[in-house]
């Protein structure tokens, strides 16, 4: 059993992006998480989060022709939170985080490879060679606030969203393969009935199929 037997391609892509982001030098001292439900406390800052925001699916081709196929647009969201009393310095730091993500992830020749994601240097690749075609849209914004019991900790947050495009086909699962056909050819009697085998010789054909 492989990972895509139980997990969606979107979850695999999110996890691959997360695994890459946490290895970038900029984020070495960051607390990193993939679940937005977990609250970010002051002790977790500096913080890196990567979440599935939403996913849109439209037909890949005519919806009533052939197997079910979708063009998926997966939106993932990066959250980078830092502490800094100087808003100008904080914004420059957020921009540095944004640039680390842009250059560290989207320039990766294996992660973004549309044919084969295997990285021989790391001895690993995207599970089941799950790939995506490209990024259809991206957006970022900077947020400001304070945290702690008495709001004593000023923080700045980078919110960067990327819409990732990939295609997937969901063909039917056939469990009763047609492996053998037996055909008997015999002329009908004058009254339209089928003569007995000892009256009229049959032409028998056997067809074997490899699943």
Each domain of the chain, given as residue ranges in start order, spans: 3-170
Taking CA atoms, 38 is separated from 44, 130, 147, in Å, by 11, 27, 15
What is the number of alpha carbons within 13 Å of residue 62 lying toward its C-beta? 3
Closest CA to 73 of 115, 10, 126, 147: 10
What's the pLDDT at 173? 86
pLDDT, residue 96, reads 97
The predicted pLDDT at position 150 comes to 61
DSSP state of 15: H
- At 88, is the secondary structure helix, strand, or coil? helix
For 3-170, which CATH class?
A: alpha beta
Query: In angstroms, rounded to a whole number, what is the distance separating the alpha carbons of residues 99 and 93?
Result: 10
pTM: 0.80
Mean pLDDT by 10 residues, the chain (211 residues): 92 96 96 85 89 96 89 97 89 96 95 90 87 96 77 86 96 87 91 87 91 76
Predicted pLDDT of residue 149 = 55
* DSSP structural state of residue 84: -
């Amino acid at each position: 059993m492989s990972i895509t037997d139980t997990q969606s391609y979107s979850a695999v892509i999110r996890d691959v992006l997360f695994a890459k982001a946490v290895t970038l030098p900029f984020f070495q001292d960051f607390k990193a998480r993939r679940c937005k439900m977990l609250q970010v406390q002051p002790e977790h800052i500096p913080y890196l989060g990567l979440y599935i925001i939403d996913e849109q699916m439209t037909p890949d081709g005519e919806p009533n022709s052939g197997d079910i196929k979708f063009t998926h647009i997966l939106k993932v969201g990066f959250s980078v939170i830092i502490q800094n009393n100087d808003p100008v310095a904080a914004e420059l730091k957020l921009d540095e985080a944004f640039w680390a993500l842009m250059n560290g992830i989207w320039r990766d020749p294996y992660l973004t490879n549309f044919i084969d994601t295997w990285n021989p240097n790391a001895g690993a690749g995207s599970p089941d060679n799950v790939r995506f075609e490209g990024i259809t849209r991206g957006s970022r914004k900077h947020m400001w606030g304070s945290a702690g019991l008495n709001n004593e900790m000023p923080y700045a947050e980078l919110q960067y969203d990327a819409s990732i495009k990939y295609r997937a086909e969901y063909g039917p699962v056939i469990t009763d393969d047609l492996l053998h056909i037996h055909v008997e050819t015999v002329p009908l009697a004058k009254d339209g009935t089928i003569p007995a085998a000892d009256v009229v010789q049959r032409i028998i054909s056997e067809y074997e199929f490899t699943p």
